């Protein structure tokens, strides 16, 4: 390597590290602040002490939350909703992505574009029409959809299915066509091509989609806030804000603790599947 | 028994014809090679036999049954793809046994077959590896193994050697021929490489623009091409083809290439060619090996003429001499000892027993 190249590489590295440090600080400061605050008593939080240090550490916030029936209900509702949404999303997205990327049928191109466009419509535009639809369903069938935690299982897939389908279309499209043809000749049907060739080969993409679906349904705020209003029907994000802020009293210690505990499951999943997640996203990026 | 029959096979892609009516009977155990330039419809034909493309018109029969609407998995065929199409997440053993496992064959039967075929192909050591860990030649063998192990009625090869480097390609060509001699299954093989076609085939089918130009044994195509296209396509270096006029003087015929060069037509061909004498557009064809240095013993109908070589290419066992006639570059294969030099006027010998006369308008060899 010539001297000038080495010098260039050096300066590139310096800049890379500078920016990485800046972004790491920006992104890691809030969780760190949450963690510090979660270890403080309300008195210490409201006292004008150094916010970045805990002088009288306590686990009271944690024990209060973990014994609070409301919080445990939020947690259970969130878990059931998220797992169910992931299952439903995968059950719809995988076959949809497979057929849209492989079987050419009348309107398949328009459908694939349509799936993508659906993803571009923000939920803030959708929740009022959804109210209308719920009322309509109740008028016709007598099924009450409002104020039930399980209605989120029906609503969240409208956010997750388009994106997951789209990311997997890109991933499936990167699988050489000869691979399915070889399997078809070897005696596989379309379903076997999907389960025995596509899913294993496109596993990183499937995992990326799974993580996305889980994160969206775990962390979404607007729909739970709008559609599940009684305490026992709430999921984590809405529940924390609704129960730990009473009037103008903010129970900061518990809010931070609850948020931190709520962020743990996605964090753990990311940590284990990070490599797969990145591989999946980049493949979607270059091929999609 | 598995003969393959194509009857007036047609394929259109959105009104664009790819295959325009192919009739071909492939006998049981025969090794047939479809060869032609890219876009001639050879791969489309193969994919229609495999069932991977719909047929626009015509019929395909495998083992006597019409299979037009039979899905690939029920046609009892196996295919080797250009990029091998090995399943990347499976080991070699799993790749080879995939079809057998789908058929739910007993485990010991599967193991027995895979081991036997791996033995034939010399890949017994590789059974636990993933495709990523294999070289190009090994992948090629595994792809063939996956086809052979199923013991299908017909093998289909789609340019299986074109991803290999030149040396390995020649080696694998021989391997494929050996395997066919051992396994003796009806084979349809597609390539754009006429050398591959000649060396492998029992019968070569030359295709051009969606039609069969000529089908026949390799040597028949080489020595008795039916059309201008086949004459130019088969053989390397290619046949010398240049415009000529046919002159009749006192019952004898001469082909005249230009004012300087003309050759007498062999007496036994006079009757065959007489009707074309005086016609304007004819082509004269002669393979490079029938243009040689002067030889001491004269043979009937070998005729000397003089040229000025433009380029000479020594290959060791022969020297290619390139010269220009009527603006067409022509090639002669000469003995290196003759020591032809560029720019130095040289006498060459044309063996007119091997000449071809081609009607330029119809492209037919007369």
End-to-end, the C-alpha distance of chain A in Å comes to 36
Q: What is the pLDDT of residues A117-162, one digit of tens each?
A: 888 888 888 888 988 998 899 899 888 888 888 889 988 998 899 9
B235: in domain: no
- Residue B13: in which H helix or E strand, if any? strand B4-13
Query: Do residues B117 and B82 share a domain?
Result: yes
pLDDT at A1: 55
pTM above the 0.90 mark?
A: no
- Whether residue B265 is contained in a domain is answered as yes
Q: Is A181 within 8 Å of B79 when comparing Cβ atoms?
A: yes
Reduced 3-state DSSP string for chain A? CCHHHHHHHHHHHHHHHHHHHHHHHHHHHHHHHHHHHHCCCHHHHHCCCCCCCCCCCCCHHHHHHHCCHHHHHHHHHHHHHHHHHHHHHHHHHHHHHHHHHHCCCCCHHHHHHHHHHHHHCCHHHHHHHHHHHHHHHHHHHCCCCCCCCCHHHHHCHHHHHHHHHHHHHHHHHCCCHHHHHHHHHCCCCHHHHHHHHHHHHCHHHHHHHHHHHHHHHHHCCHHHHHHCCCHHHCCHHHHHHHHHEECCEECHHHHHHHHHHHHHHHHHHHHHHHHHHHHHHHHHHHHC
B340 assigned to some structural domain: yes
Contact A178 B83 (CB under 8 A): yes
> Can you give the pLDDT at residue A96?
93
Same domain for B36 and B131, yes or no, is: yes
- The percent of residues above 70 in pLDDT, for chain B, comes to 99
B150 contacts in A (CB within 8 Å)?
186
Query: Does B299 reside within a domain?
Result: yes
Which token pair is A38?
């979660």
Shared domain check, B159 and B52 = yes
Domain end call among B167, B197, B225: B225
For chain A, say whether B144 makes contact (Cβ under 8 Å). no
Number of domains forming the structure of chain B: 2
Residues B173 and B285 in one domain: no
Q: B289 with B314, same domain? A: yes
CB contacts of A181 in chain B (<8 Å) are 50, 52, 72, 79, 81, 85
Q: What is the pLDDT of residue A287?
A: 33
Same domain, B203 and B285: no
**Superfamily of the domain at A64-287:** MetI-like (1.10.3720.10)
> What residue has token string 């992931």?
A86
CB B331 within 8 A of CB B325: no
Where chain A has pLDDT below 70, the residues are 1, 276-288
Average pLDDT of B282-290? 91
Q: Kindly report, residue by residue over A78-99, the tens digit of the pLDDT.
A: 999 999 999 999 999 999 999 9
Quick check: A185 and B73 CB within 8 A? yes
Residue at B366 is within a domain: no
Domain boundary residue among B171, B199, B225?
B225
The rounded distance, in Å, linking the Cα atoms of A218 and A263 is 9
Nearest to B288 by CA among B246, B245, B322, B338: B322
ipTM score of the complex?
Answer: 0.82
Same domain membership, residue B199 and residue B332: no
Query: Given this model, what pLDDT does residue B79 score?
Result: 92
Residue A286: predicted pLDDT: 38
Contact between A228 and A151 (Cβ < 8 Å)? yes
Closest-CA residue of chain A to B98 = A186
> Does the N-terminal peptide bond of residue B237 adopt cis geometry, omega within 30 degrees of 0?
yes
Mean pLDDT of chain B: 89
Residue-wise pLDDT for B226-276, tens only, equals 999 999 999 888 999 998 888 888 778 888 888 788 888 888 888 888 888
Q: What average pLDDT does the segment B193-200 reach?
A: 90
Mutate to test the interface with B, among A105, A175, A176, A182 (most CBs of B within 10 A): A182
pLDDT digits 0-9 by tens, B329-353: 999 999 988 888 888 898 899 998 8
> For position A279, what pLDDT does the model report?
64
What does the pLDDT look like over B70-81, one tens digit per residue?
998 889 999 999
- pLDDT digit string (tens) for B83-114? 889 998 899 999 999 999 999 999 999 999 99
- Are residue B121 and residue B252 in the same domain, yes or no? no
Q: What is the average pLDDT across B276-280? A: 75
Query: Considering B192, B225, B258, which residue would you say is the last residue of a domain?
Result: B225
Range of the domain at B94: 4-225
pLDDT score of A65: 87
pLDDT at A250: 83
For residue B248, the domain's CATH number is: 2.40.50.140
φ, ψ for residue B200 (rounded to 5)? -90, -30
- Which chain A residues have a beta carbon less than 8 Å from that of B78? 185-186
């Amino acid at each position: 390597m010539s001297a000038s190249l080495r010098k260039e590489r050096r300066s590139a590295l310096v800049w890379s590290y500078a920016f990485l440090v800046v972004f790491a600080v920006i992104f890691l400061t809030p969780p760190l602040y949450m963690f510090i605050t979660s270890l403080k008593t309300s008195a210490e939080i409201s006292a004008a002490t150094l916010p970045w240090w805990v002088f009288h550490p306590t686990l009271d916030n944690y024990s209060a939350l973990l014994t609070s029936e409301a919080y445990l209900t939020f947690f259970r509702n969130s878990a059931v909703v998220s797992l169910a949404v992931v299952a439903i999303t995968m059950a719809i997205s995988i076959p949809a992505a497979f057929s849209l990327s492989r079987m050419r049928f009348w309107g398949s191109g328009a459908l694939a574009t349509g799936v993508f466009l659906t993803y571009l419509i923000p939920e803030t535009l959708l929740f009022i029409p959804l109210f209308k639809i719920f009322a309509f369903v109740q008028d016709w069938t007598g099924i009450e959809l409002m104020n039930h935690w399980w209605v989120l299982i029906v609503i969240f897939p409208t956010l997750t299915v388009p994106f997951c389908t789209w990311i997997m279309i890109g991933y499936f499209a990167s699988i050489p066509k000869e691979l399915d043809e070889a399997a078809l000749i070897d005696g596989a049907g379309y379903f076997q091509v999907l389960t025995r060739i596509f899913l294993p080969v496109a596993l990183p993409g499937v995992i990326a989609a799974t993580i996305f679906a889980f994160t969206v349904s775990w962390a979404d705020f607007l729909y739970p806030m709008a559609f599940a209003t009684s305490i026992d029907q709430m999921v984590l994000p809405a529940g924390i804000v609704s129960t730990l802020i009473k009037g103008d009293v903010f129970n900061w210690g518990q809010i931070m603790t609850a948020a931190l505990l709520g962020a743990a499951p996605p964090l753990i999943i990311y940590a284990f599947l990070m490599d797969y997640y990145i591989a999946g996203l980049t493949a979607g990026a270059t091929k999609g | 028994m598995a003969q393959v029959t194509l009857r007036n096979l047609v394929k259109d892609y959105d009104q664009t014809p790819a295959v325009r009516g192919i009739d071909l009977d492939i006998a049981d155990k025969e090794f047939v090679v479809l060869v032609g330039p890219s876009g001639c419809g050879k791969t489309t034909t193969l994919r229609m036999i495999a069932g991977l493309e719909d047929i626009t018109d015509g019929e395909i029969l495998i083992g006597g049954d019409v299979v037009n609407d039979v899905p690939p998995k029920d046609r009892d065929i196996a295919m080797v793809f250009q990029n091998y199409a090995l399943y990347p997440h499976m080991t070699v053993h799993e790749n080879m046994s995939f079809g057998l496992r789908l058929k739910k064959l007993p485990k010991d039967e599967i193991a027995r077959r895979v081991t036997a075929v791996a033995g034939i192909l010399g890949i017994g050591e590789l059974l636990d590896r993933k495709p990523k860990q294999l070289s190009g030649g090994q992948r090629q063998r595994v792809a063939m193994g996956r086809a052979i192990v199923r013991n299908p009625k017909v093998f289909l090869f789609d340019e299986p050697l074109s991803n290999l480097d030149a040396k390995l390609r020649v080696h694998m060509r021989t391997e494929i021929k050996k395997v066919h001699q051992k396994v003796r299954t009806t084979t349809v093989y597609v390539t754009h490489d006429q050398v591959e076609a000649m060396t492998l085939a029992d019968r070569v089918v030359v295709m051009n623009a969606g039609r069969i130009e000529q089908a026949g044994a390799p040597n028949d195509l080489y020595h008795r091409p039916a059309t201008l296209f086949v004459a130019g396509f088969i053989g390397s270096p290619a046949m010398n083809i240049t415009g000529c006029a046919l002159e009749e003087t006192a019952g004898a015929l001469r082909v005249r290439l230009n004012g300087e060069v003309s050759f007498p037509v062999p007496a036994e061909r006079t009757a065959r060619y007489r009707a074309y004498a005086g016609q304007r557009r004819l082509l004269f064809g002669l393979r490079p090996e029938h243009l040689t240095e002067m030889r001491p013993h004269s043979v009937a109908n070998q005729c000397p003429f003089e040229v000025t070589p433009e380029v000479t290419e020594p290959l060791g066992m022969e020297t290619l001499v390139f010269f220009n006639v009527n603006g067409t570059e022509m090639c002669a294969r000469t003995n290196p000892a003759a020591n032809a030099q560029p720019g130095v006027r040289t006498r060459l010998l044309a063996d007119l027993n091997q000449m071809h006369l081609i009607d330029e308008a119809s492209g037919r060899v007369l």
